[in-house]
C-alpha cells in the first residue's frame, strides 16, 4: 500500500509539471507581468485534486483507503519528524534565495511578492473556511480541522510559484519545488496529522491559488497597486495563517 501511495505522489508531480508544459489555446493578458496567460486547461489538475478530496469526505471507498494508509504508517513508523513545519515554506523561500544569488526569476521583487501574498491570502482563506465547515477529525484525534491540509496547500502554492518564476529557465526548478511540496504532504500523513484526501485537496488548493494570483495580478496592479509620477504610492498585502487564526495586513505608503 505504501509503495502504491509513493507512486501516486510521484505521479502527481509528473502530471502537474507535464500538464503545465502542454501547449494549448490561451487567452493572453497584456501587462507588466512577463508572458502572463490564462489557460483554461490548467484548471483541470487542481480541479481533479480538489474534487478527489471532496469526494473522499463521503466516499466509503476513499475513507477506507485513508484508513489503510494510516494503519500502515502507524505500524511501520515509531517516531515523528516535524520537518513539514519548515518544508512547507521551502519552495517559495527558494525563489527569493535564487534571486539573491543572481538567478533571476520572471518577475521583479515587487511583482512576485504581491503575487505570492495574493496566493497565500486566497489559499489561507480557502483552507480556513473549509476547516471550519467540514470539521473532519484528524487521524491522531487531536482536533476536528483536518480537511484540507494547510501545510500541503502552503507547500504546493510555493511550488507553483517557483515553477511559474523559473519555468522559462529550466523545468527542473519546478520539479524540485513540487518534490518538496509532495514530501511535505507525505510527512503530514507520516506524522499522523492528515488523511490522504486532506493532502490531495490541499495540493489542489495551493496550485489553484497561485495560478489565480498570476492571472488576476494585472488587474490588482491597475486598481490597487497603481503608482505614477503624480501619485507615488506603493501598497502591500501580507496574509498570515498559523493553523488556528487567519488574517492579513494592508500597508499603503504615500
Asked if residue 19 is part of any domain, the answer here is yes
Helix (H, G, I), strand (E, B) or coil at 252: strand
* pLDDT score, position 23: 44
Please name the residues in contact with 174: beta carbons below 8 A apart, sequence gap of 6 or more: 17, 20, 159, 162, 163, 166, 167
Q: Is residue 244 part of a domain?
A: no
pLDDT in tens, 82-103: 899 999 999 999 999 999 999 9
CB 185 within 8 A of CB 49: no
Judge whether 172 and 41 are in contact, CB under 8 Å. Answer: no
Residue 128 lies in a domain: yes
pLDDT, average across residues 30-34:
45
- In DSSP terms, 246 is beta-bridged to 241
pLDDT at residue 234 above 70?
Answer: no
Q: Which residues on neighbouring strands pair with residue 237, listed in sequence order?
A: 250
Tell me, yes or no, whether 235 lies in a domain.
no
Average pLDDT over the chain reads 83
What band does 223 get if pLDDT is binned at 50, 70 and 90? confident
pLDDT tens, residue by residue, 102-161? 999 999 999 999 999 999 999 999 999 999 999 999 999 999 999 999 999 999 999 999
- Domain annotation covers residue 252: no
Question: Using 50, 70 and 90 to split pLDDT, how confident is the model at 243?
Answer: low
Rounded distance, CA 145 to CA 165, Å? 32
Measured on CA atoms in the order 210, 214, 215, 216, is the torsion positive or negative? positive
> 30-39, 61-70, 135-144, 167-176: which has the minimum mean pLDDT?
30-39
State the residue for C-alpha cell 501580507: 238
* Alpha helices per DSSP H over 78-170: 84-87, 90-100, 109-134, 150-166
Q: What would the mean pLDDT of 29-48 be, rounded to a whole number?
A: 70
- The boundaries of the domain holding residue 57 are 2-226
Contact 113, 236 (CB under 8 A): yes
Q: Is residue 47 part of a domain?
A: yes
Inside any domain, residue 214: yes
pLDDT digits (tens, 9 = 90+) for 199-220: 999 999 999 999 999 999 988 8
CA neighbor of 98 nearest in space, from 87, 83, 109, 111: 109
Residue 105 within a domain: yes
Single out the residue of 110, 116, 105, 210 nearest to residue 167, CA to CA: 105
Q: Work out how many domains the chain is built from and give that number.
A: 1
Name the band, by pLDDT with cuts 50, 70 and 90, for residue 221. Answer: confident
Q: What is the DSSP letter of 106?
A: S
Amino acid at each position: 500500500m505504501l509503495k502504491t501511495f509513493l507512486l501516486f505522489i510521484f505521479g502527481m508531480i509528473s502530471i502537474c509539471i507535464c500538464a503545465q508544459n502542454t501547449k494549448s489555446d490561451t487567452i493572453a493578458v497584456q501587462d507588466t507581468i512577463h508572458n502572463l496567460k490564462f489557460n483554461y486547461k490548467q484548471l483541470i489538475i487542481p480541479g481533479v485534486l480538489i474534487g478527489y478530496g471532496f469526494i473522499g469526505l463521503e466516499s466509503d471507498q476513499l475513507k477506507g483507503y485513508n484508513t489503510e494508509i494510516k494503519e500502515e504508517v502507524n505500524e511501520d513508523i515509531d517516531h515523528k519528524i516535524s520537518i513539514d513545519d519548515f518544508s512547507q515554506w521551502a519552495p517559495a523561500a527558494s525563489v527569493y534565495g535564487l534571486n539573491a544569488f543572481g538567478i533571476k526569476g520572471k518577475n521583479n521583487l515587487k511583482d512576485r511578492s504581491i503575487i505570492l501574498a495574493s496566493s497565500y491570502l486566497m489559499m489561507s482563506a480557502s483552507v480556513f473556511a473549509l476547516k471550519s465547515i467540514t470539521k473532519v477529525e484528524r487521524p491522531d484525534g487531536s482536533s476536528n480541522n483536518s480537511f484540507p491540509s494547510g501545510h500541503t496547500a502552503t507547500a504546493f502554492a510555493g511550488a507553483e510559484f517557483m515553477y511559474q518564476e523559473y519555468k522559462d529557465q529550466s523545468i527542473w526548478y519546478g520539479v524540485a519545488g513540487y518534490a518538496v511540496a509532495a514530501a511535505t504532504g507525505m510527512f503530514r500523513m507520516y506524522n499522523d496529522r492528515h488523511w490522504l484526501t486532506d493532502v490531495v485537496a490541499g495540493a489542489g488548493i495551493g496550485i489553484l491559488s497561485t495560478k489565480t494570483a498570476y492571472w488576476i495580478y494585472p488587474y490588482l496592479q491597475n486598481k490597487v497597486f497603481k503608482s505614477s509620477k503624480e501619485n507615488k504610492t506603493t501598497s502591500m498585502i501580507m496574509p498570515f495563517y498559523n493553523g488556528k487564526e487567519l488574517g492579513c495586513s494592508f500597508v499603503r505608503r504615500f
